A = this chain, B = another copy of it.
Amino acid sequence: MLIFEHSKSGRRAQAQAPASAGSLSGIPRQFLRKHQPRLPEVSEMQAVRHYTRLSQKNFSIDTQFYPLGSCTMKYNPRACNSLAMLPGLVNRHPLAPDTHSQGFMSAMYELQEILKEVTGMSAVSLAPMAGAQGEFAGIAMIRAYHDARGDTERSEILVPDAAHGTNPASAVMCGYQAREIPTRDDGDVDMDALKAALGPQTAGIMLTNPSTLGVFERRIEEIAQWVHEAGGLLYYDGANLNAILGRVRPGDMGFDVIHMNLHKTFSTPHGGGGPGAGPVGVSQRLQPFLPVPLVTTDGDGYQWLEEQDRPQSIGRLCAFAGNAGILLRAYIYAKMLGDEGMRRVADYSTLNANYMLKKLREAGFDAAYPERRATHEFIITLKKEAKELGVNAMDFAKRLLDYGMHAPTTYFPLLVPECFLIEPTETEARESLDAFIEAMVKIRKEAETDAEQVKGAPYNLPVRRLDDVKAARELDLRWQPDEAS
């Protein structure tokens, strides 16, 4: 039932609005609304009940194992939420004067420092509001760098074919063409193809390392050297930063710019699809181009650096200073982990992934890159099962839901057929991993005896498989008031 269907005309059972509101006398009639929008008219209890029950229809980290590859669905500490919502922080106006902002700004400054340390970059801007915006900012800085040197003919950003879809999309948003570089069978970038693609038109390359294939790009130093020699810069997609925290730093690998997904590596909530936060870190040469605002300190207090202080900046990415509440959560998380905790993130997420990979292989599933170590995530291919049993990755995914686990990422990256990209994260106990492996074995067994049963999954959820074709063909994107009658 939709909230609109709980609505009753004239119902106002809330304590949420002033009883006497005064009048709109200052506003000429032609500016005023002629009829009220048909929003729900429900009591506070009806709203609470409706949304409480809706929430129960979700899978979430707080209720299920959620090994969604490339999304780093790890535990979101509850303290991060409650402390970021402290009245003094949650009510601070973004344009409050520095006299009333030192507490907040100190946290932002320290977070910049933490992120520098963790990534090995020279400077950080917290402004980007999500990973994709961080990507945009990164490529825009690369462009600004070339432009500032008068090197204006570079038109291409190289992108491995395994990259996240955001990578080429971001390159295009910055006015570049995205040129794909193929991946070798062992999961590393095809160096010959790279060499062939490099040239005076090369503005840079976007890499995720570990890549979305769940393997570490071993020849990263060589790549960096070649790209730099061609006059290009290296962009690091931080989606998989969780895999290397405290083990190896993008700055040390030779990257010039990196974005971080704080909702992944720094455990801010995914919130049903955001908000994220996508700070960017840069090497020395890109510093002048960082998006504003930045926080600096003169030792006495903290100040904002804005457009007028940073004339070469690519500019502003958002109305204020990024997703501050999310940045606070990341700061709190980082402070709770400390140096040792931070390092262990990579260690144990990698341990969990390698353990699962090993156990799944022992159980007869095929690794996409059997010769490689798993990083914090890994890929199995269900090509064999699809062929022999007629049950594909999507069927496995849906059936896993019945077993009370969220499915891994399916059919991404695109180059592995019947692909499961599995990322357990460091916060899962071995019991969860074992339960997943057991469920996979069970599902295969089910498929052996009754493939149709598996193909009909899920059965235990609020709905069964949905008709996506109908959804796209007969667009129904909003409740219509006439349904109310």
Establish whether residues B44 and A63, one from each chain, have CB atoms under 8 Å apart when the complex forms. no
CB distance from A80 to the nearest CB of B (A): 10
CB distance from A349 to the nearest CB of B (A): 14
Establish whether residues A44 and B429, one from each chain, have CB atoms under 8 Å apart when the complex forms. no
Listed A/B pairs (21) with beta-carbon separation below 8 Å: A8-B429, A13-B427, A15-B77, A43-B75, A43-B427, A44-B75, A44-B78, A45-B61, A45-B75, A45-B427, A45-B428, A46-B429, A48-B62, A49-B61, A49-B62, A49-B63, A49-B64, A52-B62, A52-B63, A53-B63, A56-B56
CB distance from A460 to the nearest CB of B (A): 13
Q: List which A24-72 residues lie within 8 A (CB) of chain B.
A: 43-46, 48-49, 52-53, 56, 61-64
CB distance from A173 to the nearest CB of B (A): 37
Q: Give the docked Cα–Cα distance between A61 and B431 (Å).
A: 34
Q: Give the docked Cα–Cα distance between A121 and B61 (Å).
A: 52
Q: Which residue of B lies closest to A52 (CB)?
A: B62
Asked if A336 is an interface residue, CB under 8 A from chain B, the answer is yes
Q: Give the docked Cα–Cα distance between A60 and B428 (Å).
A: 30
Query: Which residues does chain B contribute within 8 Å of A61, judged by CB atoms?
Result: 45, 49
Q: Give the docked Cα–Cα distance between A134 and B303 (Å).
A: 58
Interface centre among A15, A45, A46, A77 (most CB of B within 10 A): A45
Interface residue ranges, A against B (CB under 8 Å): 6, 8, 11, 13, 15, 43-46, 48-49, 52-53, 56, 61-64, 75, 77-79, 87, 336, 427-429, 431
Q: List 10 extra interface pairs beyond A15-B336, A52-B62, CB under 8 A.
A: A8-B429, A43-B75, A43-B429, A44-B75, A45-B61, A45-B75, A45-B427, A48-B78, A49-B61, A87-B87
Contact A44 B431, CB 8 Å, known A49-B63, A63-B52: no
Q: Give the docked Cα–Cα distance between A62 and B52 (Å).
A: 7
Query: Which residues does chain B contribute within 8 Å of A64, judged by CB atoms?
Result: 49
Contact A77 B429, CB 8 Å, known A49-B62, A53-B63: no
Query: Which residues does chain B contribute within 8 Å of A6, judged by CB atoms?
Result: 429, 431
CB distance from A404 to the nearest CB of B (A): 9
Query: Which residues does chain B contribute within 8 Å of A44, judged by CB atoms?
Result: 75, 77-78
Q: Give the docked Cα–Cα distance between A45 and B77 (Å).
A: 8
Q: Give the docked Cα–Cα distance between A153 and B104 (Å).
A: 70
Q: Give the docked Cα–Cα distance between A84 and B52 (Å).
A: 22
Q: Which residue of B lies closest to A19 (CB)?
A: B338
Q: Give the docked Cα–Cα distance between A257 and B340 (Å).
A: 63
The 10 closest A-B pairs by CB, nearest first: A45-B75, A52-B62, A15-B336, A45-B427, A48-B62, A52-B63, A53-B63, A56-B56, A49-B62, A49-B63
